Chains A and B, each alone.
Chain A
Amino acid sequence: GQQLNQSPQSMFIQEGEDVSMNCTSSSIFNTWLWYKQDPGEGPVLLIALYKAGELTSNGRLTAQFGITRKDSFLNISASIPSDVGIYFCAGQRNTGNQFYFGTGTSLTVIP
């Protein structure tokens, strides 16, 4: 099935730095979701986006639904050690359709 292109594949940053990652698709999506997965756990939903141009925050996390509807961005401000994990994006063309997942961004925060 289709996979979304997610970048970067991995990031190593210092505690306190800001983080940016993105997800792109060749298709238009009407829903974008961002998840975080800790080792040995299932993905946890962070932010859901349902409208082009939408900017939504969840604490230090901010995600945006790209205007073209072919991309989405996730930013983490002032990173802390517990931000470590793998972040996945997911996109859906229309309500009720399958969700396609990104390849993941592995984040390492150095104290």
Chain B
Amino acid sequence: GAVVSQHPSRVICKSGTSVKIECRSLDFQATTMFWYRQFPKQSLMLMATSNEGSKATYEQGVEKDKFLINHASLTLSTLTVTSAHPEDSSFYICSARGQTSSTDTQYFGPGTRLTVL
């Protein structure tokens, strides 16, 4: 299946700093990538949809100035958590859309564990 990588896998940062997470589709071009947040023992919560070359679409309740998304190429999307606070600590997962004329699938990255001290 398609491969999506995410970097870093874990990051610990001080409160007030910014953290950038990269998501790459390694063997296919992804015009659309998604960013999710997952709390322990809960399902995936969609934060935003990232389209190559255009502004991201954020879900209701997600602060776009807090979670900056850039999708500069067909294989790379980045999520920057700005001025991170302890409540931003979570598991962040990206996914990339693999779409043909008749099928549509999402492939997930391995996730990034963010801990804000």
Contact = CB atoms under 8 A, between A and B. Distances in A.
Interface string A90-106: 10100110110111101
Interface residues of B, number: 25
B23 to A, nearest CB: 10
Nearest to A43: B108
Interface string B92-117: 01010001001111111111010000
B108 A35 contact: yes
A23 B105 CA distance: 17
A39 B95 CA distance: 17
29 contacts: A3-B43, A31-B104, A31-B105, A33-B106, A40-B113, A42-B6, A42-B108, A42-B109, A42-B111, A43-B93, A43-B108, A45-B1, A45-B106, A45-B108, A48-B105, A50-B102, A50-B103, A88-B44, A90-B106, A95-B102, A95-B103, A95-B104, A96-B99, A98-B46, A99-B106, A101-B43, A101-B44, A102-B43, A104-B43
Interface residues of A, number: 25
